[in-house]
Structure 1
């Protein structure tokens, strides 16, 4: 697996992804966000788009994370987010944020060293940040409780219940990418 930063927002990188194999594929043709990918044998298997916050230039927002359908649940998504996180921290950014709308992404980002801030966006996404907020274990459970109160599939409901019992995962990709 090869991790590659295609460019920062100012570079205007674009990326064409197959909409049948990648969620959010149309978001990657926009040139207003930076892009990073994971390639396996030269083929893109995951991508992330990111940009600086409009009101705080020290904050980098991860906007869209997508993993090719046949590569999901392999840990590539959190590793890619950790890769971009490390590159952004090497630049002018001192914090990263991402808003997630499902418990699977929530769990994956915790494994990448992010933590729930206690904030939600206006479209019911939970905001996570790196570095971790105060009381990350308590906040982790708070976010899962918010998901549990939603209309979830039986699989999602079971996933959330298991994670509530187990507690916050140790960041498995926090220091490597």
Structure 2
């Protein structure tokens, strides 16, 4: 037991005793005197302790771990299904040593339109790379195509957010509605 825990237990034991002493003094004191008023105040000192004891008891009750519903991600989707053809221009980084082309593979981010973001993924084909600063046409897949596709009509401008940085600017070219 730590020093603070010991002190708390002592306080929990002393304050009810002070309240009982205040009740005894109040019982024998003359009504309207300062002594009776002070005794009344001493009787009320136990109230915060009762709240703390109740909170401690509630904390001791066994609880079930909350079930956190994980949103379905791209890992749950079996294959890449393009929903929108876009024209992307990846921004050049401020640090010259980071100005390297995007290599082949799958990339994930969010298309940001005003104050809304839509989770997407796109692929750079094997053997290809995307140079920063030059526009490139790509197919992207939305995580929730039914919600996102109506927002991206042909010619809609957007930004691409990856982690906490905007990495590209884009323009919606053509909906792939036949794949939804």
What's the TM-score bracket when you normalise by the shorter of the two chains?
under 0.3
Query: Could you state the TM-score of these two structures normalised by the residue count of structure 2?
Result: 0.24
Higher relative contact order (CA 8 A, sep 6+): 2
